[in-house]
Structure 1
Amino acid sequence: MSPRLIFWISNSVRMLLVIIGTVIASSMWGITWGLFLGLVAMAVLILMQLFYLQRLADWLDNPRSSRLPDGWGAWTDIFSRLYKLRREDEKNQTELTEWLARFRQAMTLLPDGVVIMDDVLFLEWCNPAAESHLGLSLIQDKGMRVTNLVRSPEFMDYIILGRYDTPLTLSFRDRKLITHIIPFENRRQILVTHDITESERIDMMRRDFIANASHELRTPLTVINGFLEIASLQPELDAATRSAHLKLMSEQGARMQRLVEDMLTLTRLESMDHLLRTETINMRVMLEQILQEAHALSAGHHQVTLDFNGPDIRGSTDEIRSALTNLVTNAIRYTPEKGTIQISWTNGNAGPKFTVADNGIGISPEHISRLTERFYRVDKSRSRETQGTGLGLAIVKHVLLRHKATLLIDSVPNVGSKFSVQFPANAVIEA
């Protein structure tokens, strides 16, 4: 049975009882007293309805202040239905609050910036990424116009033109951002920012690497192709000239091979699939071998010494050997004849340290921060003389990153250089 039908039946029953009571009272005490008692009964019923209407009005003015009032008769059903609606509303409000909290938490964790604005671009909410990208502060800037906070002519033109179907690439606060405004609802807009600074830097590094690698490979190939063309066009060349050409081609071929090997090494070190396999490294044996190779490369033109006073460590033998050999080889290549190269292996509170110091040509301060970049050379003419590939220190950097070690460079032009590798203390193998 529907609540509305119950309401009408209950009130009809009450009215019928009042009429029956009036008729009985009239037959017993006369029609005057019967009508009087009937009127009194009707007045009581009306006053009860007015009383519950007043209680309902008081509750509606402040529905959260107290519990719903108890009812009588049809009012019991009315109040019970209101109580049920109130409970459902409270449940919906709780769920909505939880979903809103989850939404804001998800927006907070997004790497992209999200700014919620009204139809006149006043800031309502933003996540931490947007604060970082655009220099906003939700606490201080809430309620302010975003165009007053993001002072960029490109952004202002984008807002004024209103062509939101195409994203805007914006350079702002030393960042490169892709910004996009998305209208939603009638009075809301969302500004989304995506930081492409790092990807642009990586793309530029990739382009530079390809250009530099192509340039480095072109030189030996040009030499080899040139001599081959001479040999094919002039088969009567004398033996001495032909021998000199073959020697130069062999040197350029070896240089090209070293370059390819170094590029493959870098690719392998940067690969996420190339896991670091650690082992016990006998540092005395390794450094004595590096010392022997240094003497062979120097061919007696330098004084190379080794001071060994450190422990064995854990790491990749091949990678560590490659990194340390690169540092020693560079010291020999960039130190004039009769110079000194001092190699040392020590241990301290911060951990073991490898150092190679020389009294060579040195490096100007403006070049030091870029030494580990691929193909970066302080003096290109000097690097051609030393037959370097320009990738040695880049390999050193990646090897040390994999071993959580740090490269320290101290150099003074025309005085000398000192390259140190600081390994972490936990790399030491306890005796």
Structure 2
Amino acid sequence: MNPKLLFWIPAILRLLLVIAAGVFVAWISSPLEGLAVVALILCAFLLTQLYYLNALGNWLDEPTSTRLPDGWGAWTGVFARLYRLRREDERNQAELTEWLTRFRQAMKLLPDGVAIMDDVLFLEWCNPAAEQHLGLKLDKDRGMRVTNLVRHPDFIDYVVLGRYEQPLTLSFRGRKLIAQIIPFESRRQILVTHDATETERIEEMRRDFIANASHELRTPLTVIVGFLEIAASEPSLDAETRAAHVKLMVEQGHRMQRLIEDMLTLSRLESVDYPLRAEQVNIRAVIDDVVSEARALSGGKHEITSEVDAPDMMGNAEELRSAFANLASNAVRYTPAGGKVHISWRAVPEGLQYEVKDTGIGIEAKHIARLTERFYRVDKSRSRETQGTGLGLAIVKHVLLRHNGTLSIHSEPGQGSSFIATFKQA
């Protein structure tokens, strides 16, 4: 049925009933009393309408579905329709609130910064990553112009020129950021920032690694190729010279072999294709092997002692032996003849601890933080004399990472060094 008829038919029926009541009273009493009855009923209707009109006005001040009156007469249908509309609005609002909460939660978890601005670059919202990248505080900076908050000449030029097709790379607050403004809607813009600091650091490490590896391989190859060219061009070399050349080529070949083996070991330790297969490791046997290798490398020039006063541990025996041997061989190489090297394995409150302590030349504090970098050497000439590859401590670091261990270094120039590997045990 037509909604208009649903309203007017009851209204006309109620009006007819009022008139009928007045006519009935006038018939049994007098016309004046009949008019009085009609007037009283109409006044009651009017007061009822005013009551529900006031209730509607009060409800509109706080329009919630739980506060809506039941109504009477035509107001029943009005309030019923308002109730359905309000319930639908509340349901839509709840969905929008849920989606907004999810959106903000997702934006908070993004590693990239996202800032929403209006068409004149006033900040409306940003996620925590953007706050960290650009030094913003949403509560304090909302409604402020972004170019007043990010005071960087390159960024301001980028904004002024409006060439947003290409991203902007800038150094800001000690980070390398890639920023780009993306217009959307008619009066909104999004500023996206990506922290490329770690990527740049990894790329620099890769370039350094390639350069250092090429340099390390070039020297022995140059020696070997040079001697081969001499041998080819001068077949009449005397036996003594030829033997000296062959000896040097063998030494350089062994040097290249050690370097390649260490590079392969490091690559394997970093690869996810070689997960750690833990087993019970006989630490005393491992340290006995390490001490034997250290004494062979020393050739009797150092006093090398060991102490094992802790239980075995779970891990990979070959990897641990490699790490322990690298620390011990470094101590021997950088300790002058007559010095002491002490190797110990003991239990500490933090777990199990392997320590190599020497009385060698020591290390300046400025070098300690970089010792585990690939091919980093404090004294390059001495490292080559001792036939080091420059990858030993990098191997140690990755072995410890795979075994839930940490490396700490204590050293003073001229006083010796102490390398401590601590393993946390469950």
Q: Do the two structures share a fold, i.e. TM-score over 0.5?
A: yes
Secondary structure of the residue aligned to 1:418 is strand
1:360–1:417: 8 Å Cα contact kept in structure 2? yes
- What is residue 5 of structure 1 aligned with on the other side? 5
Label 1:76 to 1:389 Cα distance change in 2 as closer, same or farther (>3 A).
same
The equivalent of 2:219 in structure 1 is: 219
Q: Which residue of 2 aligns with 1:138?
A: 138
Q: 1:357 to 1:30 in 2, by over 3 A?
A: closer
Q: Secondary structure, in 3 states, of the residue corresponding to 2:115?
A: strand
Q: Structure 1 residues 267 and 65 mapped into 2: Cα distance closer, same or farther (>3 Å)?
A: closer
Change (3 A) 1:61 1:358: closer
- Per-residue displacement from partner, 1:99-140 (whole Å, max 9, x unpaired)? 222221121222222222333333332222222222222233
Structure 1 position 108 matched with structure 2 position 121: no
Find the counterpart in structure 1 of residue 308 from structure 2.
Answer: 308
**Percent of paired sites with the same residue:** 65
Aligned residue for 2:274?
A: 274
Task: Specify the SS of the correspondent of 1:230.
Answer: helix
The CA deviation string for residues 18-51 of structure 1, in whole angstroms up to 9 with x for no partner, is 7777888999999999889878877776676566
CA drift of 1:14 comes to 4.7
Instruction: Give the residue type in structure 2 aligned to 1:377.
Output: R
* 1:328, distance to aligned residue in structure 2 (A): 1.3
CA distance in 2: counterparts of 1:153 and 1:368, whole angstroms? 37
- Give the residue type in structure 1 aligned to 2:192: V
**Contact 2:125-2:138 at 8 Å conserved across structures:** yes
Distance 1:261 1:19, change over 3 A: same
Q: CA deviation at 1:416?
A: 2.3
Closer, same or farther: CA 37–282 of 1 in aligned 2, 3 Å: closer
Q: Distance in 1 between matches of 2:171 and 2:202?
A: 17
Partner amino acid, structure 2, of 1:379: D
Deviations 1:288-316 (A, max 9, x none): 22222222222222222223333322221
2:380 counterpart residue number: 380
* Pair 1:423-2:399 in alignment: no
Q: How does 1:25-424 map to 2 (within 5 A)?
A: 52-64=52-64, 67-424=67-424
Is the 1:59–1:66 Cα contact (8 Å) retained in structure 2?
A: no
Q: CA RMSD in A?
A: 2.9
Deviation at 1:16, TM superposition (A): 5.8
8 Å Cα contact 1:122/1:146 also seen in 2: yes
1:336 Cα offset (Å): 2.3
Contact 2:64 2:86 in 1 (8 A): no
Which of 374-383 and 12-21 deviates more? 12-21
* SS state at 1:221 partner: helix
AA aligned to 1:120 is V
- 1:17 to 1:314, Cα distance in 2 relative to 1, 3 A: closer
Contact kept? 1:351, 1:422, Cα under 8 Å: yes
Which string of whole-angstrom CA distances, capped at 9 and with x for unpartnered residues, describes residues 57-100 of structure 1?
44334434973334343332222111111111122222222222
Moved more, 15-24 or 397-406: 15-24
Bigger mean CA offset, 70-79 vs 15-24:
15-24
Q: Distance in 2 between matches of 1:89 and 1:411?
A: 70
Residue identity matched to 2:336: P
Kindly provide the amino acid, as one letter, of the partner of residue 166 in structure 1. Answer: Q
Compute the displacement of 1:284 (Å). Answer: 1.9
Q: 1:29 to 1:345 in 2, by over 3 A?
A: closer
Distance in 2 of aligned mates of 1:32 and 1:309: 119
User: Does structure 2 retain, via aligned residues, the 8 Å contact 1:3–1:77?
Assistant: no
Using a 3 Å threshold, how does the CA distance of structure 1 residues 329 and 54 change in structure 2: closer, same or farther? closer
Structure 1 residues 24, 311: CA separation in 2 closer, same or farther (over 3 Å shift)?
closer
CA distance in 1, matches of 2:423, 2:60: 73
1:52 Cα deviation after fit: 4.5
Q: Per the alignment, in what secondary structure is the counterpart of residue 67 of structure 2? A: coil
CA distance in 2, matches of 1:25, 1:338: 134
Give the residue type in structure 1 aligned to 2:217.
L
Give SS of 1:410's match. Answer: strand
Provide the rounded CA distance (Å) in 1 between the counterparts of 2:76 and 2:124: 44
Instruction: Tell me: CA distance 1:119–1:283, structure 2 relative to 1, closer, same or farther (3 Å).
Output: same
Residue 60 of structure 2 aligns to a residue whose secondary structure is helix
C-alpha distance 72-351 of structure 1, shift in aligned 2 (>3 A): closer
Does structure 2 retain, via aligned residues, the 8 Å contact 1:164–1:182? Answer: yes
User: What amino acid does structure 1 have at the position aligned with 2:220?
Assistant: P
What CA deviation, in whole Å up to 9, does each residue of 1:325-359 have, x standing for no partner?
11111122222223322222333333332222222
1:293 alignment partner AA: E
Q: Distance in 1 between matches of 2:353 and 2:272?
A: 27
| 1:41–1:288 distance in 2 versus 1, CA, 3 Å | closer
Quote the offset at 1:142 in angstroms: 2.9
* 30-39 vs 124-133, greater mean Cα deviation: 30-39
Mapped contact 1:364–1:412 kept (Cα < 8 A): yes
Asked whether the equivalents of residues 306 and 343 of structure 1 are also in contact (C-alpha less than 8 Å), the reply is yes
Look up the equivalent residue of 1:195 and give its one-letter code: D
> 222-231 or 352-361: which moved more?
352-361
**Take 1:307 and 1:61, find their aligned partners in 2: how far apart are those partners?**
83
Q: Say if 1:147 and 1:238 are closer, same or farther in 2 by CA, change over 3 A.
A: same
Residues 113, 129 of structure 1: 8 Å contact kept: yes
Q: 2:252 is matched by which residue type in structure 1?
A: Q
Q: Is contact 2:355–2:420 with CA below 8 Å preserved after alignment?
A: yes
CA distance in 2 between partners of 1:354 and 1:9 (Å): 97
One-letter code of the match for 1:255? R
For the Cα contact (< 8 Å) 1:112–1:130, is it kept in 2? yes
Residue-by-residue CA offset, 1:153-204 (whole Å, 9 max, x unaligned):
2222222222223222221111111222223334333222211111111111
